[in-house]
Structure 1
Amino acid sequence: MSVTLPSELIDAIIDQVALLDTTTLHSCALTSRAFVFPSQKHIFHTIDLDVRRPRAVHYLRFHRLLQSKPHLGAHVRRLRLVDDSKEDFAHGFSWMTHPRTPISRTLGFLSNLRSFELSFNSTGEKWSAVPEETRVGFGRVFAMESVREVALECVSGFPVALLSSLARLKYLALSNVTIDSDEGSERMDVSNSVTLEGLYLRGVSPEIIKILAKALSAPDTPPTLRKLALTPTFEEGFAEAVAKLIVTCGSHLTSFAWLPSIHFPSYIGPINISSLHSLRSLHFIVSFRKLSSQKPFAPTLALLLQISNRPNLIERITVECHCIMPRRGEGEKKLAKTWRPLDTVLSAEEGAIFRNLKEVEIVLSVNTILPTEIHRVVTNRGELLPRVEARGVVLTVRVDSCSQDSGFLERLREM
């Protein structure tokens, strides 16, 4: 005789399993009909159409599933659409911008979408080259009341009015985006209220930064920006536009992330965070590749020294490390020497500049650091920031599969 579990207990079991392992959740859904519907809200919560190849086939399966079971679309909260790279084009065209790809109809099923990531191929796609029906579908998603997060990557000629309307979101991430050169800031849509709390900028044109700064600092608009993440570029005017954004819109920033490319040297330029008096957390990417004559921590130290002229409110600092290379004869003494400048700045007793600091987290990327080097750093963690630890600051070393080229919205959420 089979025993029927109460629905409340089934829901509790499914919710707990979903927290730990979605693969197990799929298995649970196959064991009993009673588990199917409670599992669906977790299984379809996040749809990442970049995890399988070919992407077009994976997308079409998802679209056909929604056609046959449209109620599943209501469970989707996060969607990531990623085009093929130029090298992946099997037939010489992009599947995502092909006129026969029913993306607009797919999006129509997702009535409760909260987060939308849209990435065209890395060579860049002109917005005007996207089929009109697809552009309309994207526009509908951008305007949905339920959508609070958008990431946009590798698109040129993006409409100014559409860009300014995205300031109503909670989080916005832009990577390799340019606006229509024939439009100006006078085409800005100022009818939407500005509620932007988190902004990630990587490889965007100075004009985009100026438009967002204008929207965020519009008359009668209260300061909303709390998180700012930057990947600096060498594009003329980028650093100057960011510097102005910080001055005009950064008065209430509590989190700042400096996330330079791990493949090229980075320079601060006119960017200055000394006016950000409300900062509570900082996040730095540090590449140990020998990219120039400067030391690995040079840009990080330059930014920290900007806020070292008076006691600050910083409570947490994350140092995300990439490309730590093995070098002959490099032991714990060499490791301590490399980290000593950071240890000195953060532990300075004069004026107790970082007296509110409670935690420093060091993240080691398994994608760019050999296991032997990770082991060496973890084993000698006591040599990294000994003076900081002596002040009672908690030092944690975490090994992660962090990647610089994905998860823009995830970075904003975690800041």
Structure 2
Amino acid sequence: MSIDLRHSAWRQLPEEVIISISYHVNRLPFHRISTLKSCSLTSRAFLRPSQAHIFASINFDISRTSRFVVFQSLCRTLLKNRGLGLHVRELQLRSDTPDLYELHIPALNSFRTMLGLNKFTFICGRRSGDGTSDPEDAEMLIGWEQFARTVRGNLNFVFSLPTLRTLELGGIHNLPSTLLVSFMKMEHLLLDSHLSIDSSMNATSPTGLMVLSSIRLQSLTLREVDSGVVNALASMLAYKPNGLKRLDLAPVRLAGVEGFSGAVWNLLRLGGRGLQAFEWEGVSARPHAFKPIDLSTIRTSLRHLSVSITYSVWFAEPQVLIDLHALLRQLSSADVALEVVTIKTAFAGASSGDGSSNLTDFAGFDLTSDPEFLDEWSDLDKILSHKKAFKKLDRIELEYVRHTASSKATATSSLAVPVRGNSKSFPPNKGFGTPPSLAEVAYTKELEWWTDTACTFAERLAGTRARGVVIVFGESKTRRRSWAVFEPRSPEVVGGQDSFEWRPMRVGY
């Protein structure tokens, strides 16, 4: 009898309350899925709201045997209960071995149940972002024509979904250029892992021209794609030259840098005239690899510039900011619209072959002990304190990211330090004003290194026009919190130099 009363009580709750409960359960940092499953068994009223969160995001690397089996089981469930597929909003599917997809032909039919899909990631062959450009990579990739007809049909079905807004694709040779045209209807497109296209196919058919006349692409990420793909995109974006708002670039690490940058410069001139955000992930061994890219042509629209740098124990020359210096000099004019400069910093240790670091790497490595390393940060301060330029600069973000691309995202917290005033009043290791979440992640050696280093860097940026420097720890964008302390005369600050109040601030676009 008590069970019936309990279920009756749940049914009396307004639907809005049940949806709100499910929403907050889904935000739990741990045991989220198991808790949602328990909620779905509590009452029928919780069933659909819980299922909606459980199946909203599906992420599989089917290279692993355990995930291979689980993925097939999930797909069978979706095919038997097609209503569950309507809850899927994000699907990520990766495999280091291309032929594994042929073993999933029946399972991939479940794609046709995902009629509300918003984001789709499909990577086959070598893992994207591994930083290599070896000729043997071709053996790890697969040609579009090598996929079974059923696989191609299911992929085309997903590509054509009207709800699809974000697409990430990589590891495929000879992708039909007609498909690339259809991708112009996406809002966010990410092409990586040595993707190439078959340019012999006609991309200017009546259907293709109709798509190009209504381009919706706003954000484009290019990571290790060949210049042929970039040139093809440039010719398509030329139909709407002011539509693209964000461009993120990571060139092929060694071979093909010049061809990539030249093709991107062509894309900027033809289809990037309204760009508002530009990100460049440089090549450590190839300074100025971005040339002939010239950002001065978009200085009146560009608001956010982001550059990734890497400090390495192998070649610790003080020249990691050389690309950022050059790009900012291109923007040094009175009419520049730049508001945010983000510097993403990584540390490449010597203890592992994949470039990741461990605790011993930091024991004898202190880049701030050598004045030369800090001189280039002082030079950056001089560039950003130009009397006639960067009048709209709001903040500088110093963000720490893990060097290995495949690393899992860590918890994120931020600490901002004043860019003016007496720095001795704000020792970096005293925890003054530190948000509580920082204490949860500051025990690792990497973050301790970054805490000291970033605060030292921030002190060198005391003369810039920016209102503050934001120091960001971690990588997770979805759970990102940023804090800022501004100069004493700013209304954002309460008290004098020795008394500051933390203020939350939204970061990013």
User: TM-score, length-normalised on structure 1?
Assistant: 0.85
> How many Å apart are 1:414 and its aligned residue?
6.2
User: Which string of whole-angstrom CA distances, capped at 9 and with x for unpartnered residues, describes residues 63-115 of structure 1?
Assistant: 012123221100001111111x24xxxxxx722133x5224411111011111
Question: Secondary structure in 1 aligned to 2:101?
Answer: coil
SS of the counterpart of 2:307? strand
- 1:178 maps to a residue whose letter is S
Q: Tell me the secondary structure at the aligned position of residue 136 of structure 1.
A: helix
Aligned to 2:69: 57
CA distance in 2, matches of 1:222, 1:330: 43
Among candidates 215, 224, 233, match of residue 236 of structure 2: 215
Partner of 1:406: none
- Alpha-carbon spacing, 1:366–1:250, altered in 2? closer, same or farther (3 Å): closer
Q: Distance in 1 between matches of 2:247 and 2:392?
A: 21
Instruction: Provide the residue aligned with 1:119 in structure 2.
Output: 123
Q: Are the aligned partners of 2:282 and 2:323 in contact in 1 as well (CA < 8 Å)?
A: no
Aligned to 1:96, which of 74, 78, 101?
101
The reply to whether residue 285 of structure 1 matches residue 285 of structure 2 is no
Other structure's SS at 1:199 match:
strand
In structure 2, do the counterparts of structure 1 residues 194 and 291 end up closer, same or farther at CA, with 3 Å as the change threshold? farther
Matches within 5 A, 1:112-261: 112-122=116-126, 123-175=140-192, 176-180=194-198, 182-183=200-201, 189-192=208-211, 193-218=214-239, 221=240, 223-233=242-252, 234-235=255-256, 237-260=259-282
Q: Deviations over 1:268-308 (max 9, x none)?
A: 22111111120111111111125596711111211111111
CA distance 1:324–1:194, shift in 2 (3 Å): same
C-alpha contact 1:185 1:211 (8 A) present in aligned 2: no
The answer to whether the aligner puts 1:307 opposite 2:316 as a matched pair is no
User: 1:410 maps to what in 2?
Assistant: none
Q: Which has the higher contact order (CA 8 A, sep 6+)?
A: 1
Distance 1:296 1:222, change over 3 A: closer
Q: Aligned equivalents of 1:306 and 1:293: distance in 2?
A: 24
Superposed displacement of residue 227, structure 1: 0.6
For residues 237 and 379 of structure 2, the distance between their equivalents in structure 1, rounded to whole angstroms, comes to 36
Worse-matched range after superposition: 55-64 or 188-197: 188-197
State which drifts further: 366-375 or 308-317.
366-375
1:401, CA displacement in angstroms? 4.3
**Cα pair distance change 1:145/1:50, threshold 3 Å:** same
* SS of corresponding position for 2:27: helix
**How far apart, in 2, do the equivalents of 1:17 and 1:264 lie?**
47
What SS does structure 1 have at the residue aligned with 2:447? Answer: helix
Q: 2:61, 2:180 → 1: CA distance? A: 24
Residue 449 of structure 2 corresponds to which residue in structure 1? 376
Q: Which amino acid in 1 is paired with 2:296?
A: S
- Range 17-26 or range 137-146, more displaced: 17-26
1:74 aligns with 2:86: yes
**8 Å CA contact 1:366, 1:402 repeated in 2:** no
Alignment of 1:261-280 (within 5 A): 267-276=289-298, 277-280=300-303
1:25 and 1:39 in contact (8 A); partners too: no
Q: State the alpha-carbon separation in 1 of the partners of residues 51 and 334 from structure 2.
A: 52
Letter of the structure 2 residue corresponding to residue 337 of structure 1: D
Q: Displacement of 1:400 after TM fit?
A: 1.2
1:30 and 2:38 are equivalent in the alignment: yes
Aligned-partner residue type, residue 307 of structure 1: L
Within 5 Å, which residues of 2 pair with 1:325-404?
A: 326=362, 327=364, 330-331=367-368, 334=371, 336-346=374-384, 348-351=385-388, 353-366=389-402, 371-379=444-452, 381-386=454-459, 388-389=461-462, 391=465, 393-401=467-475
Aligned counterparts of 1:22 and 1:35: Cα–Cα separation in 2 = 20
The 1-side partners of 2:124 and 2:318 are apart by: 34
Q: C-alpha separation between the residues in 2 aligned to 1:76 and 1:209?
A: 31
CA apart distance, 1:360: 1.5
Q: How far apart, in 2, do the equivalents of 1:380 and 1:297 lie? A: 15
| Secondary structure of residue in 2 paired with 1:319 | strand
Alpha-carbon contact 1:81-1:119 (below 8 Å) kept: yes
CA contact (8 A) 1:266 1:299 kept: yes
> How many matched pairs?
394
The 1-side partners of 2:16 and 2:466 are apart by 45
What is the root-mean-square deviation in Å for CA atoms of aligned residues? 3.0
The answer (yes or no) to whether the contact 2:347–2:402 under 8 Å persists in 1 is no
> In structure 1, what residue type is equivalent to 2:259?
G
SS in 2 for 1:239: helix
Residues of 2 paired with 1:177 and 1:291: CA distance? 30
Contact residue 62 and residue 94 of structure 2 kept, 8 A: no
1:257 Cα deviation after fit: 0.7
Which residue matches 1:408? none
Which shows bigger deviation, 301-310 or 163-172? 301-310
Unaligned runs of 5+ in 2: 127-139, 350-361, 408-442, 478-506
Q: Distance in 2 between matches of 1:278 and 1:181?
A: 32
Separation in structure 2 between the aligned mates of residue 376 and residue 349 of structure 1, nearest angstrom: 31
Contact 1:343 1:384 in 2 (8 A): no
User: Could you say which residue in structure 1 is the equivalent of 2:58?
Assistant: 47
CA contact (8 A) 1:284 1:319 kept: yes
Which moves more between the two structures, 117-126 or 318-327? 318-327
Is the Cα contact below 8 Å between 1:319 and 1:361 reproduced in 2?
yes
Q: Shift of residue 8 of structure 1?
A: 2.1
- Between the aligned partners of 2:230 and 2:451, the Cα distance in structure 1 is 39
328 and 227 in structure 1: CA distance in 2 versus 1, 3 angstrom threshold: closer
**8 Å contact kept, 1:264–1:291:** no
Q: Does the 8 Å contact 2:218/2:245 carry over to 1?
A: yes
Structure number, greater radius of gyration: 2
2:333 match: secondary structure:
coil
Specify the code of the residue in structure 2 equivalent to 1:95: L
**Fraction of identical pairs, as percent:** 25
More off after superposition, 353-362 vs 176-185: 176-185
Q: Secondary structure at the match of 2:292?
A: coil
- TM-score calculated relative to the size of structure 2: 0.70
What do the CA deviations read for 1:175-211 (whole angstroms, capped 9, x no partner)?
A: 1111125436656922212111111112222222122
Distance 1:73 1:179 in 2: 31
The one-letter amino acid of 2:82's match is: P
Partner Cα distance (1:263, 1:41) in 2 = 47
Q: Give the superposition deviation at 1:380.
A: 5.0
